[in-house]
Structure formats: structure tokens, C-alpha cells
Amino acid sequence: AAGVIQSPRHLIKEKRETATLKCYPIPRHDTVYWYQQGPGQDPQFLISFYEKMQSDKGSIPDRFSAQQFSDYHSELNMSSLELGDSALYFCASSSGQGGSWNTEAFFGQGTRLTVV
């Protein structure tokens, strides 16, 4: 069965550079969520989209932006990267059924971002 696809799997960037992370949800899933997970930390919610509109925002820095496109894939854009941005970034998707978390969310394998 198709899963959530994230690309790239690994990314190394220098400080102050920009990075774009991509997420391809499971077909027919209309809701996408982005999480940031530091080493040994719990996943921190960044932002979510439902039907291509931003639906909720968590602890996402102003340097980051995201959007969901017409084909439901989503991109997380990160600018002016800092060392502290090094983390595993997960995307998850679900069939929102009106947007509430009453359905299972499937996580992608994550993008490991290293800022040097």
C-alpha cells in the first residue's frame, strides 16, 4: 500500500541557507501535518493543512513557511537556517473527515536535516 513519501531523506545545509522539504501524502488523504523532532525529543507540531488551506499552526518559526498544493503534496520552506533547526522533520497525512483527529494519521519516514 502507498505510504507517505518525504524527500529528501537526508539534507545537509549551512547556516543561513534555505531548505525545502517535500511531502507526498497517501492518495485521497486531504490533511497534512508537519512535525519537528530533535534528538531524544518528542515530535513538535509545526503546521497543518486541510484541503489545501492552512488549518492550524504550532511552534513554527517565522523563518519557516509551508503550503499544500492542488495535488495535496506539501512543502515546508525553511530560510535563514540555524544550527538549532537540525532535526528530523516528519510529515503525516490522514483523511481528515472534517479535520478532526478521529482518524489514524500515517507518518512518513522523515527528512533528517543537518545544519552545519
Partner 1 sequence: QQPVQSPQAVILREGEDAVINCSSSKALYSVHWYRQKHGEAPVFLMILLKGGEQKGHDKISASFNEKKQQSSLYLTASQLSYSGTYFCGTEKSSGAGSYQLTFGKGTKLSVIP
Give contact residues for partner 1 (rule: CB under 8 A).
31, 33, 41-45, 48, 50, 55-56, 58, 88, 90, 96, 98-110
Q: Which three cell numbers stand for residue 110?
A: 522523515
Q: From CA 93, how far away is CA 85, in angstroms rounded?
A: 22
Q: Considering beta carbons, is residue 85 or 94 the nearer one to partner 1? A: 94
The least CB distance from residue 81 to partner 1, in Å, is 22
Q: Considering beta carbons, is residue 18 or 101 the nearer one to partner 1? A: 101
Q: 41 near 90, Cβ under 8 Å? A: no
